[in-house]
Amino acid sequence: MKTIEIIQAFPQPDGKILRTIDKDACEQAVVDILKGGKQIVREIVDLILEPGNGDDIRPRHALHATAIRVGGKERKMERKEFSSVLAGMLTDDRPLAVKGFIIRQLQICAGPEQAEKIAPFLTNPNEHIYEYAAQALQAIGVGTVVHFRKAYPDASGDCRLTILQALGVLEDKKSREYFLNAVEDKDLEIRLAGMWGLMKIASSKDMGVLLSQSEKEKGWGRIKATAYCFELAEKLTVKGQKEEAGKIYRQIKNSRKEKADNYLRQSADLGISLLK
């Protein structure tokens, strides 16, 4: 069966509303796509256009449905073969927006083997593809942290912020120097991401940095930075480092003197009481 015939099983919206779906036909189409292998998948991807350049609803639906169906652990071989074919197309000469769609499907079904093909897009600021790449790599798992770590020095702007946040999500202790450097950045969002990363790796040796920076920040930055100090204290308490947690609570209590900071002093008192 030809590719164009296979994707006819997927519904075409009536205006903006998807009224009728033949579930059995769609399921069979996915079977046919997987049976057709690399050639069929490539032909489907070839039908996907940049947004606004034509009607490609059916090929997009077909690719997405297939990614979902092979996403389960019980279809390990099909998942690996399908995701490998998709990842291989990221080096093709295709519009960046199309590659972004491919990466979003890989977020559903890719494994560690595809991470290297996704990683180069972490530093590309166009079409939000760096976000899609970061989300896909995080979905694959903590083993992808090496790609974020490697990309960070070459990243700038929103790419840099996204990578820094991902390193925090993955609680990468080896990125501590990145977090510490970020705390000194001119950009508030980068500073906050650096403080958040330090809080996530939860080392008592960084509590002085967090406390000091929380006192330097103003407005929203001060609120967020102080919250990270409280979170660090909670993490240290869980790790059995109650003395260090107590130091954080006491410094917050003693350094927040304004009337508007009353809730912070109360929160610090509560934290201290829970250490006993």
Q: Within a domain: residue 74?
A: no
pLDDT recorded at residue 15: 75
**DSSP string over 117-132:** HHGGGGG--GGGHHHH
Q: Within a domain: residue 13?
A: no
pLDDT digits (tens, 9 = 90+) for 102-118: 999 999 999 999 999 99
Domain hosting residue 217, numbered range:
185-276
pLDDT digits (tens, 9 = 90+) for 205-226: 999 999 999 999 999 999 999 9
pLDDT digits (tens, 9 = 90+) for 235-249: 999 999 999 999 999
Q: Within a domain: residue 195?
A: yes
pLDDT digits (tens, 9 = 90+) for 18-56: 778 889 999 999 999 999 999 999 999 999 999 989 899
pLDDT recorded at residue 14: 77
Residues 267, 217: Cα–Cα separation, whole Å? 19
pLDDT recorded at residue 155: 98
Residues 276, 273: Cα–Cα separation, whole Å? 6
pLDDT recorded at residue 161: 98
In this structure, the number of other CB atoms found within 10 A of the CB of residue 275 comes to: 12
Whether the full predicted model's pTM is greater than 0.75, yes or no, is yes
Q: Within a domain: residue 94?
A: no
The answer to whether 34 and 63 have CB atoms below 8 angstroms apart is: no
Residue with the bigger pLDDT between 101 and 72: it is 101
Q: How many domains does the chain have?
A: 1
Q: Within a domain: residue 267?
A: yes
In this structure, the number of other CB atoms found within 10 A of the CB of residue 92 comes to: 12
pLDDT recorded at residue 79: 94
Q: Within a domain: residue 55?
A: no
pLDDT recorded at residue 1: 85
Beta bridge partners of residue 176, listed in sequence order: none
Between helix 188-201 and helix 207-216 the angle, nearest 10°, is: 150
Residues 206, 204: Cα–Cα separation, whole Å? 5
Q: Which amino acid does the sequence have at 57?
A: I
The answer to whether 230 and 267 have CB atoms below 8 angstroms apart is: yes
CA atoms within 13 A on the CB side of 34: 23
- Residue among 90, 93, 98, 86 nearest 120 (CA): 90
pLDDT recorded at residue 21: 85
- Residue among 148, 67, 145 nearest 106 (CA): 67
Residues 45, 255: Cα–Cα separation, whole Å? 59
Q: Within a domain: residue 271?
A: yes
Has residue 73 got a pLDDT over 80? no
Place of tokens 């001119």: 186
Cα 97 to chain centroid distance, Å, stands at 18
Place of tokens 């996530």: 200
State the sign of the Cα–Cα–Cα–Cα dihedral 65, 71, 75, 79: positive
Q: Within a domain: residue 144?
A: no
Structure-token pair, residue 95? 């519009």
Q: What Å distances lie between residue 244 and 200, 209, 224, CA to CA? A: 16, 13, 20
CA atoms within 13 A on the CB side of 155: 29
